[in-house]
Structure 1
Amino acid sequence: MTDPFPFSRGGMSEQVRCHDWAATPLGPIPSWPAALRIAVDMLLASRFPGCLAWGPERIMLYNDAFAPLLTGKSPALGVALHIVWSEVWDEIEPILARAFEGEATYIENFPLVIERNDKAEQAYFTFCYSPVRDEHGTIVGMLDTVIETTGTVQAREKAEQAAEDFEREAMARTAERNRFWDLSSDIMLVTSRRLEVTAINPAWSRVLGWNTEELLGRHAVDLIHPDDHDSVALAMVPLFHGERLHDMTCRLRHRDGSYRWIAWAAVPTDDSFHSVGRDVTEERERALMLQQVEEQLRHSLKMEAVGQLTGGLAHDFNNLLTGISASLELLRQRVEQGRIGELKRYIDAAQGASARAATLTHRLLAFSRRQTLAPRAVEPRVLIADLEDLIRQTLGPSIEFTAQSDDDVWWVRVDANQLESALLNLCINARDAMPEGGSLWLRARNHHQFARARTENDLQPGQYVCLSVTDSGTGMDPQTVARVFDPFFTTKPLGQGTGLGLSMVYGFVRQSGGQIRVDSTPGQGTAMHLFLPRHEGQQVTALPVVSGPVLDTEATGETIVLIDDEGTLRQMVGEALREKGYRVLEAANGVEGLSLVQGGVKADLLITDIGLPGGLDGRQVADAAWSIEPNLKVLFITGYADQAVDTDTLPTAGSHVLTKPFTLEHLSYTVRSMLTRR
């Protein structure tokens, strides 16, 4: 039987397990998001003092090692951070805010009076505030890890005081100086201005194993780790100009050949340098271990997101592949049995599953901002007007629909088809959130963003067009809003949603340079705001489509050079084009394809994949072909956005981009339209 969450043992784990979280903004433990559960479990398992501040309310959780810092305070578990630390909130709030903006910050050597050894004791701590992100990179909390630096502060104060005392006492040659020199646990060093060792105290033997006879007259740089020479030389420049040296850390060689980290303070005199060093090796090792723990936490959150994505993807694709495989298997059996009258049903089933698989990959590419887009200048007011009738038909009579656009709404540069799909998708989701009917508003307005973006996911300053879809439906709680764009996450019943619709909208908007915001309240409805950058370039109204007869896709003897490294695809495309009457010359890579063009073939059309092996990609092949035949028409085919071609940069208008997967019918239509276009 699995242990109850949290899985760690210890006093605080039990307190977390038994706490009434339903009375806090975090809600009951079963409703916690994965990011919070992982962060809490790793926090409670850590031996380092640490606490979490989670969500907008900065709700506090902490581990056993952190508990002594709260001695004398009211119960802090599940309480907002500004209440727990009200007496120092003015000091820590600005630094905490920076952590929630994405910047790792810290308060160094913060003084606190704590109960220790049955008495109040002055101690110092360094609080490291690190942002905690969920699987989408959104900052959802702050991890505060603590290192007690009481010893460091006291030793630094002691070292600085010792350096000052050492300078005075060295000149006076008093007995008090000699006694301190002999008894100090810190290493002390006197060098000439040429850095030759003139004196060391007995602590050198205890800390680094060296005695006085072995070091006198040696150059101090010989003991410094070679990798630290440059930083030490730079840090000592002020010392040569008569200034004190503080907090310079370097590695010093032990007599056994190992190295120890030493933190130095030094003062100059007319003819020498007097230095005091403290061994901080163990402190640095603890800091490194702390960094590794934080890295493990970030990796765990990342793997959680990857696992969710691959699990949903495998489930959907396995279903689709099973449908395709079963259809082909039955198709083969019916052909062998001579029952050809039943073939269309299996062909339609396989094609339908293939189309759904293409839609799935398109949505995944949209979410990951890798889909191939065809952006152009779009007037939102006209686009919404064109969509209005379709949306009304989709919503049905039980939902009151209002479309509104401000008169002066700016133009945007986006893929118009994708924007229409995104708005229709949002309207359908809104309809599903109003099963008993309601109201839906679609509005376009201008938006000026003046505030500085705090994180990468915030809206950057600039001018935007805001397209809002607002409903009066059931709304969502904060936990659902936090996951609403996760791939394969859906609130719909099983079988009624893929969980990719909103993730596709999110990816499209981000790939278009914009941002999407969600405002939702349970029982009051939801508003989805799409912010798209203003387009200030040329604004050209799209030409109307002229109705006419269906284009004849049969060839009239034209020659086509076809280049694709995928053999099956090349074979099927070539066969389909030959059946249309074209002469097709095939090549498996860019070098072979270019040799056909350079070999005297009078090609009417070049069809080339963009990503090709052999040293020449599709765009390079096209550029070389255009140097031979400037008016050659080129059809680029691609399945990945990183291989996309910006048609605005092409030297000829007789070029087109076709995105995989495509149907052979669509390919034939595109080829015919390109060859008949002047």
Structure 2
Amino acid sequence: MPFLSDHHGCQGWKGEMAGRIRAFDWSLTSLGALQHWSHSLRSTVQLMLGSPVPMVMLWGPLGYMIYNDAYAEFAGGRHPYLLGCAVELGWPEVAEFNRGVMHTCLSGGTLSYRNKELVLLRNGVPENVWLDLYYSPVAGDDQAPAGVIAIVVETTAHVISEQQRQAAEAALRQLTRNLEQRVLEAVDARLAAEEQLRQSQKLEAIGGLTGGVAHDFNNLLQVIAGNLHLLARQEAGNTNVQRRTSAALAAVERGAKLSTQMLAFARRQPLSPAVYNPCHLDQGLGELLQRALGETIRIEVALPDQPWCIHVDRNQLESALLNLALNARDAMGGEGTITLCAENRVLDRTYCAGKDINPGEYLRLTVSDDGAGMSAEVLKQAFEPFFTTKGAGHGTGLGLSMVFGFVKQSGGHIEMFSRPGQGTRVQMYFARSAGEEAQPSLSCAGRAPGGQARILVVEDNAEVRSAALEMLEHEGYQVHGAANGDAAMQLLLEGLEVDLIFTDVVMPGLIKSTDLATWAKSQASPIAVLFTSGHTRDMISCNHQLNSDTHLLRKPYGPEDLSRTVRCLLTGQRARM
């Protein structure tokens, strides 16, 4: 009766983990029920359970985890979840590393590491750990590699001690260096950087700085706006408070507009491009421009019979045209004619030579005026941010910069022609799109039923998070907060159930907002995700162009914007369920 004898051998395993292994329902894994385990597997487990050092068996192609008492102590809060779990699911933050281990050892190879540095999540917090790791294949009864046995010894304390000793020595040597030489190197580096700014990439360099400033600025505006809105609600009957909060919120809106222009120049504003028919220029935009510019300005719109469609963010395109028209009005002293012209153009290699544009079919949009025009020196600096020929208090110098950034971010090309006394002509080129214009989606109406919807707010700025939680709570939602993606994932894995995750895009931690969104959308009952940011840094977009299933609420936002967007997402989520 060898089968009974082998099974009896399993009963002889000692230790806490031995009992857990016997009690686990292994039929849920590819290993099958315990009584059907191979002699090789049972023998290796018995050897592992008797070892005082942390050991773990990774069995089968997925690496189902079986480990001893010492490894259970190393696993910490993940024990006993790891027992019977595939290694990539048990340690997702080092999944790629473990994937390489399984491939090597199941192919018959061995691996060893001394003081291997890994970043592991412990109690939801990223922690640098150092480990001595030894991996060897374990043969099945057919002598082919069927699993991997791993010895795991943590050396973090020793490594940190050694690092501290070496750092005290990277400090003593630094004191002996020649200070004058370092100063000269710093001066040379600064001069080189300044020279680079003066070259052809000057606008790109300024754009990076501008985008970073706009991000921090938007976070500050969000804190101010959130608290002002909450104060206005709390003091609804106080006319003085209402008057002053309204004035302050108006200033926040002006600041937000300035920040948007900075991001546009830096090519870091989130765009929502779609197929756009230039017929809208005549059907609606011309009337809008006329109201904005006043009765003393004449607007002429010229379109071909069948203008080519383009793929752009409609709101940003119309905003760019409005900026050009406002500049044209000012250049003409408030009186004259502005021409908005669309033309289908085929650009050849000769025309594109030396320009940042490829040959092909394009729609050219031209805004021209008969104003004072610009000198060659002024024209050279026209697209630079904060450059303006207007007096103090008459413009930020960001209008043309915003147009430049939007066109470039949309994959287009822009040129400006001007001479003193002969007016100015700005030409924007956008590639032709073969798609068809989509019909506008229905807007959300009504009020979302509060109380039943549960929302998790993930935001590393404590003040922004607090204000957002209070805004949503005021709408009747059940709210929870987390300081980053790691903490949010910990809450969700511990059983927190939510209908929507409202998360900042850029946060510290191992788990990015995009990873959190992917996890949420892959659940049996998908969770809606709403991003918010003052600066996306291309994390949720390609060249800051949003996908149709990515929803972003830009900072700074108010309670009405937040409530309306959340309501739309929750309504759409229910419709899909």
Per the normalisation by structure 1, the TM-score is 0.49
Is the aligned partner of 1:595 residue 2:490? yes
Q: Give the 4+ runs in structure 1 shifted more than 3 A.
A: 291-297, 302-311, 452-455, 646-650, 652-655
- The answer to whether the 8 A contact 2:451-2:478 is kept is no
Q: Deviations over 1:335-383 (max 9, x none)?
A: 9xxx954222321232122222211111111111111111111111224
2:364 matched residue in structure 1: 466
Alignment match of 1:564 (pick from 459, 474, 494) = 459
Once the 2 structures are TM-superposed, how far is the Cα of residue 292 of structure 1 from its aligned partner?
10
1:581–1:414 Cα change, 3 Å: same
1:627 matched residue in structure 2: 522
2:336 matched residue in structure 1: 438
* AA at the equivalent of 2:271: L
**Within-5 A mapping of 1:256-405:** 298-299=195-196, 301=198, 341-405=239-303
In 2: Cα distance, 1:497 partner to 1:597 partner: 48
1:667–1:297 Cα change, 3 Å: closer
Q: Deviations over 1:286-314 (max 9, x none)?
A: xxxxx999958724736998899989x99
In 2: Cα distance, 1:602 partner to 1:292 partner: 53
Is the aligned partner of 1:612 residue 2:507? yes
Is the aligned partner of 1:663 residue 2:565? no
- The answer to whether the 8 A contact 1:639-1:659 is kept is yes
In 1: Cα distance, 2:465 partner to 2:190 partner: 51
- The answer to whether the 8 A contact 1:562-1:570 is kept is yes
> Residue 522 of structure 2 aligns to a residue in which SS?
helix
* AA at the equivalent of 2:499: D
Alignment match of 1:541 (pick from 438, 458, 465) = 438
Once the 2 structures are TM-superposed, how far is the Cα of residue 579 of structure 1 from its aligned partner?
1.3
Is the aligned partner of 1:523 residue 2:418? no
**Within-5 A mapping of 1:106-505:** 298-299=195-196, 301=198, 341-435=239-333, 437-452=335-350, 453-455=352-354, 457-505=355-403
Once the 2 structures are TM-superposed, how far is the Cα of residue 628 of structure 1 from its aligned partner?
2.3
* AA at the equivalent of 1:482: K
Q: Deviations over 1:12-62 (max 9, x none)?
A: xxxxxxxxxxxxxxxxxxxxxxxxxxxxxxxxxxxxxxxxxxxxxxxxxxx
Once the 2 structures are TM-superposed, how far is the Cα of residue 655 of structure 1 from its aligned partner?
5.1
- The answer to whether the 8 A contact 2:281-2:301 is kept is no
* AA at the equivalent of 1:387: L
- The answer to whether the 8 A contact 2:386-2:398 is kept is yes
Q: Deviations over 1:412-452 (max 9, x none)?
A: 11111000101111111111122262222111111222125
- The answer to whether the 8 A contact 1:379-1:411 is kept is yes
* AA at the equivalent of 2:387: F
* AA at the equivalent of 2:467: M
Is the aligned partner of 1:507 residue 2:444? no
In 2: Cα distance, 1:620 partner to 1:375 partner: 24
Alignment match of 2:534 (pick from 636, 639, 643) = 639
How many residue pairs match? The answer is 370
Q: Deviations over 1:615-662 (max 9, x none)?
A: 111110111222323532111112223245249999x97752222221
* AA at the equivalent of 2:198: L
Once the 2 structures are TM-superposed, how far is the Cα of residue 398 of structure 1 from its aligned partner?
2.5
- The answer to whether the 8 A contact 2:537-2:544 is kept is no
In 2: Cα distance, 1:596 partner to 1:307 partner: 40
Report which of the two structures shows the higher radius of gyration computed on alpha carbons.
1
* AA at the equivalent of 1:627: S
In 2: Cα distance, 1:496 partner to 1:385 partner: 31
In 1: Cα distance, 2:425 partner to 2:190 partner: 39
Once the 2 structures are TM-superposed, how far is the Cα of residue 566 of structure 1 from its aligned partner?
1.4
1:629–1:572 Cα change, 3 Å: farther
Per the normalisation by structure 2, the TM-score is 0.57
**Within-5 A mapping of 1:40-119:** none
Once the 2 structures are TM-superposed, how far is the Cα of residue 454 of structure 1 from its aligned partner?
4.3
> Residue 370 of structure 1 aligns to a residue in which SS?
coil
In 2: Cα distance, 1:653 partner to 1:367 partner: 24
* AA at the equivalent of 1:543: P
1:554–1:356 Cα change, 3 Å: farther
- The answer to whether the 8 A contact 2:207-2:267 is kept is no
1:551 matched residue in structure 2: 446
Is the aligned partner of 1:579 residue 2:477? no
Structure 2 portions without partners, runs of 5+: 1-187
2:37 matched residue in structure 1: none
- The answer to whether the 8 A contact 2:506-2:536 is kept is no
Q: Deviations over 1:88-115 (max 9, x none)?
A: xxxxxxxxxxxxxxxxxxxxxxxxxxxx
> Residue 641 of structure 1 aligns to a residue in which SS?
coil
In 2: Cα distance, 1:649 partner to 1:481 partner: 28
- The answer to whether the 8 A contact 1:610-1:643 is kept is no
In 1: Cα distance, 2:540 partner to 2:191 partner: 41
Once the 2 structures are TM-superposed, how far is the Cα of residue 540 of structure 1 from its aligned partner?
2.9
Once the 2 structures are TM-superposed, how far is the Cα of residue 497 of structure 1 from its aligned partner?
1.0
In 1: Cα distance, 2:420 partner to 2:385 partner: 22
* AA at the equivalent of 1:569: V
1:545–1:475 Cα change, 3 Å: farther
> Residue 345 of structure 2 aligns to a residue in which SS?
strand
In 2: Cα distance, 1:415 partner to 1:668 partner: 24
1:365–1:310 Cα change, 3 Å: closer
Once the 2 structures are TM-superposed, how far is the Cα of residue 551 of structure 1 from its aligned partner?
2.8
Kindly indicate whether structure 1 or structure 2 has the higher relative contact order, using CA contacts under 8 Å at least 6 residues apart: 2
In 2: Cα distance, 1:642 partner to 1:523 partner: 42
In 1: Cα distance, 2:544 partner to 2:328 partner: 40
> Residue 537 of structure 2 aligns to a residue in which SS?
helix
1:674 matched residue in structure 2: 569
> Residue 302 of structure 2 aligns to a residue in which SS?
strand
> Residue 551 of structure 2 aligns to a residue in which SS?
strand
